[in-house]
Chain A
Amino acid sequence: MVEFRLPKNSTVGKGRIFTAAPGASNVKNFRIYRWSPDDDSNPVVDTYEIDLDKIGPMVLDALIHIKNDVDSTLTFRRSCREGICGSCAMNIAGENTLACLKPIRDIEGDVAIYPLPHMPVIKDLVPDLDGAYAQLRSIDPWLKSDTAPPPDSERRQSIEERAELDGMWECILCFCCSTSCPSYWWNGDRYLGPATLLAAYRWIADSRDEHAGDRLDALEDPLKLYACRTIMNCTQTCPKGLNPAKAIGRIKELQLERKA
C-alpha cells in the first residue's frame, strides 16, 4: 500500500536555532531540513536567523551565506547559480524550485527549505536522484537515425520542424517536476515521471529522429506513461516555465493516433 505516514526514522524533529548577530535589522528565519547518514538520529529542522541586508536576493545566496559564515556542515548541491545547471533544485516554501532563481522577497514569513520530496536523502538538502537518472537513460534520450547524415554537413531541419522542439530543449533535468508529482511519489519505481516523459517526447517530436514508433512502443504501458493522472503539478512547479503535462498529453494523443 501507499505510505501516507512517514516511517518512524523519518519523522522530523526540532533542531538548533542559529541567532542573528545583535544589531541585525532585516532578519528572516530560514528553517532548513537537516539529516546526516553519519549518526543514527532522525532528521531535524534547524532555524537560521539571517540578516537579509548582508546577502544577495536569492534563496541560494542565503544558503551559501549559511555554509560560508554560519554553519559549514549544511550540505546542498549548487553550481551555476543562474538556473541552467539544475543542481540546486529543492523544496522551498512548499514548492519545488531552483534556489538560485527563487527570490527571498517572494516568500512570506519564514523560509522553509526541504530536499526534493519523496526521494531518498543522501544528506541535508541532497536527494538521491540515481533512479530518476536511470529512468531518463531508459528512454534513450539521444538521436536515433538509420539514414546516414550528409557527408559534408549536419542533419538539417526546417524552421517549422525545429520549432516543434521549443518548450522541450530548455529542460535542465532538475527533476522539480517529477518529484512534485503524486503519481511519481506512489509509483516512481514504474512511472517514468514528467521530466523523463518530456525528454521522451522531445525525441519523438524531433524530425531528424527515425525511431518514434519504437519510442512509443516502449512508453505504451499502464504505469510508465499512463500513471500520469493530469494532476499538473509538474507544469505548475517547473522553474523554467515549461509544460511537461502538455508533452505527456501529446504522447497519449500519438498512442491513440497510431491505433486507428
Chain B
Amino acid sequence: MSNPKKPHVTVMRSQLSRARGLGSGQAGVGHWWAERASAVALVPLSGWFVIQVFRLAGASQPEVAKWGARPFNTTMMLSLVILTFYHTQLGLQVIIDDYVHGKAHLPAGLLMKGIVFLLGLFGAVSVLKLALAGSSRSTIAAR
C-alpha cells in the first residue's frame, strides 16, 4: 500500500495560501508607537530619578520620607513607575512574539502581563504610601 520510506505529507496547502495566511491582523501600529513614545518619555524621567538617588545618598529615613511626600516628587515617581512597567510589558511582548510560537503564545503573554502588572502596582502603591504616610506623619508632628 503506502511506501513506509516515503514521509506522510500533512500540508498540501499552496504556498500562496500559506503566505496570505489569515490576512492582516489590523494591529501593530499602536504597539509600535507606544513602545517608542514611552521610551522617549522615560529618558528625562530616568535621568531625573538617577539625580535624585545621588542627592539622597546618605540621607536619613525622615529626610527621604519628606522627599517622597512632596507632590512634585510623587508625580514624577508615579510617572516613572507606571511608564517603566508599561514599557517593560510592551518590550517583553515583542520577545514572546519572537520566540514563543503555537499554543503557548497566548498564555505566555498573559502570564507575563500579569506579573508585570503586579510588580508595577506594587511600585505605585509604595510611592503612594510614602507620599500619604509622610503627609499624615507631618500632620501629627505639627500638632
Contact = CB atoms under 8 A, between A and B. Distances in A.
Contacts, number: 77
B29 A220 contact: yes
A189 interface: yes
Contacts of A2: 98-101
Contacts of A255: 28-29, 32
B26 interface: yes
Nearest to A225: B28
A1 B99 contact: yes
Contacts of B26: 217, 220-221
Interface stretch (A126-134, A143-151, A169-177): A126-134
A186 B98 contact: yes
Contact of A252 (B23, B32, B99): B32
A220 B104 CA distance: 24
Nearest to A218: B24
Contacts of A229: 94, 98
A91 interface: no
B16 interface: yes
B29 A223 contact: no
Interface in A185-199: 186-187, 189-190
B19 interface: yes
Contacts of A227: 97-98
B18 A221 contact: no
A34 interface: no
Among B18, B20, B26, B97, find the residue whose CB has the most chain A CB atoms closer than 10 A.
B97
Contact of A222 (B16, B28, B104): B28
Interface in A132-163: 133-135, 137-138
Given A186-B99, A220-B27, A221-B25, A138 B20 contact: yes
B11 to A, nearest CB: 11
B3 interface: no
B31 to A, nearest CB: 7
Contact of A183 (B16, B29, B98, B101): B98
Given A2-B99, A256-B29, A134 B24 contact: no
B74 to A, nearest CB: 32
Interface in B1-35: 14-16, 18-21, 23-29, 31-33
A31 interface: no
Nearest to A4: B99
Given A217-B26, A256-B29, A222 B97 contact: yes
A215 to B, nearest CB: 11
Nearest to B30: A259
Contact of B24 (A131, A135, A183, A224): A224
A229 B20 CA distance: 21
A222 B33 contact: no
A18 interface: no
A45 to B, nearest CB: 26
B28 A221 contact: yes
A131 B19 contact: yes
Contacts of A220: 24-29
Contacts of A217: 24, 26
A190 B20 CA distance: 8
B104 A134 contact: no
Nearest to B100: A1
Interface string A206-249: 00000000000111111111110100000000000000000000
Contacts of A219: 24
Interface of B: 14-16, 18-21, 23-29, 31-33, 94, 97-101, 104
